[in-house]
Amino acid sequence: MSIPVVDPAAYPQLFAAKAEQIQSQFAALNPPALARFDSPPSHYRMRCEFRVWHEGDDLFYVMFEIGEDPKKDRRLVRMDNYPVASERINQLMPALLAAIKDWPLLRQRLFQVEFLTTLSGEALVTLIYHKPLTDEWETAARQLQAQLGVSLIGRSRKQKRVLDRDHVWETLEVEGRQLHYQQIEGSFTQPNARVGEKMLNWALSVTRPAAEPTRDLVELYCGNGNFTLALAPHFRRVLGTEISRTSVAAARVNIERNQVDNVRVERLSAEEFALALADPQHPKALAYNLPGYDFSTLLVDPPRAGLDDATREQARAFERIVYISCNPDTLLRDLTALSDTHQIEQLAFFDQFPYTHHAECGAYLVQRGKASQTQG
């Protein structure tokens, strides 16, 4: 894994080249022109983690440049700043080390630091140690927390000390609305908040209601409700499913925080949902009243492996599919498999990870034979 080299002057050309690669990769499916959403050219990543290196009296952050053989080809790179990371992270990086350099209780055996920040500058810092965390450590850490103006967590083997809270609140602007998301330490969130906003706005644009009765949406792999909450106004009801207990809890908090009354999130895997939807008498179908829904649209945001076979087959039954993907290769595989039942109405590229080969994509599919329109 290469450490991104930030070069704002070169970014427009790099962005265009990556977008052209995506357009070419999907050309065989004859999609419409690719919608392209760029990133801020620097300070775009809201969360980062660094190893902490100790050399005599010196103390600094490092990352590893990893070559072809991850076990053998690892080059240590000192990171005094990191233009990829948010401005708030870059402010905190030197401030944290300066504060603890002569503070043995906080410095000794410190192994890793993780930063989680928001667009408004809120920050959560996790200090990870190779030693037990004592009450004396916590007293010192509370002083550090106040000094830096952050929320602080300490971690060690079988220990987690949350001094204030284990989350931040991110606010995203979505079609003139402000949506508030609890983002929990250690849980998945979109790392590039500005591109995240563009993804939500794109998903809203493709699902905008048409002149027909409003129906229901189901979202698989819904995480903390990122898309679920944003899309709620375009549907009668929304059901989000997620396997992570932490993410389900955060999603429910976010539903309440945003005062959304037509969304529910349940702890259910994609495979379980497929079985329950296929059988109205399935225990989970009855528990979640699935027969009472009128699903027109499926939203999926799967892991890099893409859709499993059962979910891919289940998707064929939906009139419309919104597919968010962090892996163009598995997206292409899944869209090719669905091409006999669905056509691509929109294809989008979101540059979540500038200066890397990684690409986030979105596809909006409509069943063949259905009117080419958006609706809830």
The CATH number of the domain holding residue 124 is 2.40.50.1070
Please indicate whether residue 222 is annotated as part of the active site: no
As a whole number, the mean pLDDT across the chain is 93
Choice among 122, 242, 360, 361 that is catalytic = 360
155: containing domain: 47-168
Domains in the chain: how many in total? 2
Task: Verify that 53 and 160 share a domain, yes or no.
Answer: yes
Task: Verify that 30 and 159 share a domain, yes or no.
Answer: no
Task: Quote the Cα angle for 15-334-36, to 5°.
Answer: 20
| Structure-token match 């983002």, residue found | 183
Q: Which of the residue ranges 86-90, 267-271, 336-340 would you say has the lowest mean pLDDT?
A: 267-271
Q: Three-state SS for 373? A: coil
Q: Has residue 371 got a pLDDT over 90? A: no
Task: Please report the pLDDT score of residue 250 as a whole number.
Answer: 93
Task: Please report the pLDDT score of residue 40 as a whole number.
Answer: 98
Task: Verify that 28 and 56 share a domain, yes or no.
Answer: no
Task: Verify that 26 and 70 share a domain, yes or no.
Answer: no
Task: Verify that 267 and 197 share a domain, yes or no.
Answer: yes
Residue 37 lies in a domain: yes
* pLDDT-above-90 percentage for the chain: 81
| Structure-token match 């597919």, residue found | 323
Q: Which of the residue ranges 88-102, 111-125, 210-224, 325-339 would you say has the lowest mean pLDDT?
A: 210-224
Task: Verify that 195 and 341 share a domain, yes or no.
Answer: yes
| Per-residue H/E/C for 85-147 | ECHHHHHHHHHHHHHHCCCHHHHCCEEEEEEEECCCCCEEEEEEECCCCCHHHHHHHHHHHHH
Choice among 222, 326, 345, 361 that is catalytic = 326
Predicted TM-score (pTM) of the model is 0.93
Task: Please report the pLDDT score of residue 1 as a whole number.
Answer: 60
Q: Has residue 211 got a pLDDT over 60? A: no
Task: Please report the pLDDT score of residue 288 as a whole number.
Answer: 87
Residue 195 lies in a domain: yes
Residue 179 lies in a domain: no
Residue 6 lies in a domain: no
CATH of the domain at 301: 3.40.50.150
Residue 373 lies in a domain: no
Q: Has residue 278 got a pLDDT over 90? A: no
Q: What integer is the mean pLDDT of 305-325?
A: 93
Q: What integer is the mean pLDDT of 127-131?
A: 98
Residue 175 lies in a domain: no
Q: Which residue has the higher pLDDT, 271 or 184?
A: 184
Task: Verify that 329 and 250 share a domain, yes or no.
Answer: yes
Task: Verify that 35 and 111 share a domain, yes or no.
Answer: no
Please indicate whether residue 256 is annotated as part of the active site: no
Residue 248 lies in a domain: yes
Residue 144 lies in a domain: yes
